[in-house]
Amino acid sequence: MSTTNKAVSNGKDNFTDNNVFNQLDFHIDYRLSQLNTMKICRVVKNYGNNVCDVKPLVAKLDNNGNPVEPPVLSKLPSISVQGGMAGVIIEYKAGDIVFCGFSDRDISRVKRTRKQGAPVTFGTTPLSSGVILGALLVQSPNIYVKITDKIYLTGAQVIISDNIEAAKNLALQGNLTVGGTIEAQDEISAPAVKPANGASGTFTDTGTGASGKTLTITNGIITGIN
C-alpha cells in the first residue's frame, strides 16, 4: 500500500511502493523545492533605511496543484548604491515590486550585529537570509536623474545644503535659492538670485553686463548694495 506525503514538492507524490526511483525522485524534488534562490516580491512596509517587509508574488503548489499562500518576509535589507559615507538614497514604498536574492546561509545575526558570526539556523538559503536587490517591473518615474550627453533633473525640487562650485557658466531658467556659498570661475546667469529664508552673506553681481555691485544679505533680506 502506498502512502502520500502532502508536503509542497511541485505537485509530486511520495511513492513508497517498491519503486526506488519514484522515492528518490520525490525526495530530490522536495529538497530542491526548499531552496530559495531568487523571488519577485511586493513591498508591504518600509521601516526606513530601506529595510522592508516583502511578500513573494509567485506561490508554490501543493500536490493537488493548489497555490500555497506565501509568507511575508520580515525586515529584509536592500542593496544600496553607496561607498563609505557617500551614496544615493531612494526609499522603496509599499506596493513597489522588487527582486530578492537569498544567501546560502542564515545572515540574520550579521544583519542584527553588523559583525561576523555563525548562522542562527542550520538550513541553506533560508527565507531569513533574503536581501532586496532592486526594483523590478517599474513604471516610468516622474522624478528622476537622467544621464545621456547631459544630466537632467526632472520633476524634483533640488536642495543643496553645501557649496555650489562651477568651472564654467551656471545658467538658470528660474530662481536660485541657496543657503550656502556659490563659487564660480566664470559667470552666473539667472533671471533672479534669491537667498534662502534666514540666510546671511554677500553676493557680487559679476555676470556679463553686470553692475559689479555687492549685495549684503541679512536673514534672507537684502540690507545693502555697494
Task: Please report whether residue 164 resides in a domain.
Answer: yes
**Residue range 48-105, pLDDT digits in tens:** 988 999 999 988 877 778 888 889 999 999 998 888 888 888 899 999 999 999 988 8
Q: Examine the domain organization and report whether 187 and 175 are in the same domain.
A: yes
Task: Please report whether residue 152 resides in a domain.
Answer: no
Strands 170-171 and 188-189: parallel
Task: Please report whether residue 6 resides in a domain.
Answer: yes
Region for residue 211 given its phi and psi (left: phi exceeds 0; alpha: psi -120 to 50; beta: otherwise): alpha
Task: Please report whether residue 145 resides in a domain.
Answer: no
**Residue range 200-211, pLDDT digits in tens:** 777 776 655 566
Q: Examine the domain organization and report whether 30 and 41 are in the same domain.
A: no
Which domain covers residue 164, as residue numbers? 159-225
**Residue range 12-51, pLDDT digits in tens:** 555 555 577 777 777 777 777 777 888 999 999 999 988 9
Q: How many domains does the chain have?
A: 3
pTM of whole model > 0.85?
no
